[in-house]
Amino acid sequence: MPKIVAEDDVIIRTSQVILDPDTDPERYAAIADYYHVDVPDFDGWVNRVRASIPNLFPATYEMYGDQESFRAALGDADGIVCEGYTIGEEELAAAPNLKVVQKFGTDMRNIDMEACARHGVAVYPLRRRVNIAVAEHAFAMMISMAKKLCLINHRIDEQSLHDVGFAARMHDTRHAAAANWGRVSGLGTLYGATIGCLGLGEIGREVASRATAFGANVLYYQRNKLPADIDGPLGATYCGFEELLERSDYVSVHLPINDSTRGMIDAGAFARMKDGAYLINISRAAIIDRDALMDVLESDRLGGVALDVHYEEPSAPDEPLKNYPKALLTPHSAVAGRLNGAADMEELIGNLAAEIG
């Protein structure tokens, strides 16, 4: 029976429930429920995937939460699935039967490609559709705030525009165009704007590529500057955290949550942001200090705040963030349809099956 050893990631776990029939039934049920919104016949989908890979199913599939345990389990592994774990000479030497490494992403810097080639181990990247969907959501939030879409939706008569503070009145069309007769002020464009990416990982790079395509200037900050062959093609310029806040018209958060990022956007950070700037968070709520967020919304100094992640999920019905017209709030839906995740899993499993015979 083939053996797969994987980094323990909540998304990667779907491949475990597909490939290993001995997976904890509770985990299978939880993941089936997670997919149910778009894949109601989860069992049928799983069975179809299994039938397409007779050389790989059934498999033993083990997942580990740290590099050391992961490495120790590689002795009889046929395949590896990893996101951040290092795959180098030590790991390859510990895995004499290894045939394939599946990277759960496209940043291959944690994998020694030359060493894999010397050991005859195939390596596959995966451009995750889910990451693309999250980046699209962040970008949609930027556009929605720039165009004030949430505020002006359905407001196509004078009175409803007056209700939200715009002096709507048709222009003298004998001499002027009718465009924006609603007199909606402060409408913006992404072209020529500066978009600051906090974090330029897999999702941040998807955001940056779209921003550059729209003609925006892209800055980014994270602990370390990326090699020129990564940030160069994205048109992204590395800078310090404070400089990014001061220069950006849009600040988009794509960082993991840890001790160094928790509360990173605090009162001091908000004070450095431009008046009228926009903040977008599709990462983790706690990166933004909640009290500081409420204070800046109350001040009405920013152009808007867009959040797909929240301090409590589901939020309470009386969540105070809902009281601010400039707060665009979505229910952690940036990952979009589950079919994106299903397609990622099918590609991942197909790559493993192509090398394990």
Domain with residue 63: its CATH number is 3.40.50.720
pLDDT, mean over the chain: 97
Q: Are residues 234 and 120 in the same domain?
A: no
Q: How confident is the model at residue 16 (pLDDT cuts 50, 70, 90)?
A: very high
316, part of any domain: yes
60, part of any domain: yes
Q: Are residues 225 and 90 in the same domain?
A: no
115, part of any domain: yes
Other Cβ atoms within 10 Å of 27 Cβ, number:
14
Q: Which residue has the tokens 């979505």?
A: 330
Token reading at 154: 């359905």
Active site residue 284: yes
CA separation for the pair 104, 14 (Å, rounded): 13
Asked whether residue 27 carries a pLDDT value surpassing 90, the answer given is: yes
Q: Is the omega angle on the peptide bond into residue 58 within 30 degrees of 0, that is, cis?
A: yes
- Per cent of the chain over pLDDT 70 is 100
Q: Are residues 135 and 72 in the same domain?
A: no
Q: How confident is the model at residue 141 (pLDDT cuts 50, 70, 90)?
A: very high
How many structural domains compose the chain?
2
Q: What would the pLDDT profile of 88-113 be if each residue is shown by its tens digit?
A: 999 999 999 999 999 999 999 999 99
pLDDT of residue 214: 97
Q: How confident is the model at residue 134 (pLDDT cuts 50, 70, 90)?
A: very high
Strand order in the sheet with 236-238: 236-238, 217-221, 194-198, 250-253, 278-281, 304-307, 327-329
Q: Which residue has the tokens 């940036």?
A: 334
Q: For residues 315-323, give the mean pLDDT.
A: 97
Q: Are residues 110 and 219 in the same domain?
A: no
Q: Are residues 113 and 231 in the same domain?
A: no
pLDDT of residue 291: 98
Q: Are residues 102 and 122 in the same domain?
A: yes
Q: Is the omega angle on the peptide bond into residue 331 within 30 degrees of 0, that is, cis?
A: no
β-strand partners of 220: 197, 238
232, part of any domain: yes
Active site residue 36: no
165, part of any domain: no
66, part of any domain: yes
Asked whether residue 146 carries a pLDDT value surpassing 90, the answer given is: yes
CA separation for the pair 61, 197 (Å, rounded): 36
21, part of any domain: yes
Q: How confident is the model at residue 323 (pLDDT cuts 50, 70, 90)?
A: very high
β-strand partners of 317: none
- The enclosing H or E element of 62 equals strand 60-64
Q: Are residues 279 and 311 in the same domain?
A: yes
Range of the domain at 97: 3-126
Q: How confident is the model at residue 357 (pLDDT cuts 50, 70, 90)?
A: confident
Q: Are residues 287 and 320 in the same domain?
A: yes
Phi, psi (rounded to 5 degrees) for 273: -70, 150
CA separation for the pair 332, 342 (Å, rounded): 18
pLDDT of residue 148: 97
Q: Are residues 139 and 204 in the same domain?
A: yes
155, part of any domain: no
Closest CA relative to residue 257, chosen from 231, 224, 282: 282
User: Which one of the listed residues 162, 183, 284, 301 is annotated catalytic?
Assistant: 284
- Per cent of the chain over pLDDT 90 is 100
Residue 83's alpha-carbon distances to 86, 100, 183, 247, 312, in angstroms, are 9, 14, 49, 32, 27
Other Cβ atoms within 10 Å of 81 Cβ, number:
27
| ∠ CA 206-207-209, rounded to 5° | 65
CA separation for the pair 97, 76 (Å, rounded): 6
pLDDT of residue 73: 98
Q: Are residues 120 and 232 in the same domain?
A: no
Q: What would the pLDDT profile of 223-239 be if each residue is shown by its tens digit?
A: 999 999 999 999 999 99
Q: Are residues 16 and 76 in the same domain?
A: yes
Q: What is the dihedral of CA 345, 347, 352, 355, to 10 degrees?
A: 170
Asked whether residue 172 carries a pLDDT value surpassing 90, the answer given is: yes
Q: The pTM is what? A: 0.95
Residue 4's alpha-carbon distances to 19, 61, 132, 168, in angstroms, are 9, 5, 26, 63
